[in-house]
């Protein structure tokens, strides 16, 4: 259990700080790991949406095409 927490904390400084705060709040390591497992990883989400084959390629193209317009719409209204 401790090895899993150490591995998660090594992913980024933000993860390390969050895990440290949770431990100082006296949460059990199993609860912390459960929260981390439930958190949505954007890379996994895009991989699940994209998948393999034509549908995945079309989805990836649509996301790639729409991203600049969405970003510019928020940055330059």
Q: State how far the Cα of 34 lies from the Cα of 13, in Å rounded to an integer.
A: 19
pLDDT, the chain, mean: 82
Token readout for 12 is 């980024």
- Of 26-30, 62-66, 67-71, 72-76, which gets the smallest average pLDDT? 72-76
Token readout for 67 is 């991203």
| Contact (Cβ atoms closer than 8 angstroms) between residue 18 and residue 28 | no
| Contact (Cβ atoms closer than 8 angstroms) between residue 63 and residue 46 | yes
Average pLDDT over residues 55-61: 81
| Contact (Cβ atoms closer than 8 angstroms) between residue 29 and residue 1 | yes
pLDDT digits (tens, 9 = 90+) for 11-43: 888 888 988 999 999 999 999 888 888 776 666
Average pLDDT over residues 61-69: 88
| Total-model pTM | 0.51
């Amino acid at each position: 259990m401790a090895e899993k927490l150490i591995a998660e904390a090594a992913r980024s400084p933000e993860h390390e700080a969050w895990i440290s705060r949770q431990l100082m709040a006296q949460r059990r390591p199993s609860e912390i790991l459960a929260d981390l497992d439930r958190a949505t990883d954007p890379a996994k989400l895009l991989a699940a949406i994209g998948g393999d084959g034509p549908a995945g390629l079309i989805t990836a193209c649509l996301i790639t095409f729409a991203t600049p317009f969405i970003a510019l719409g928020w940055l330059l209204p």
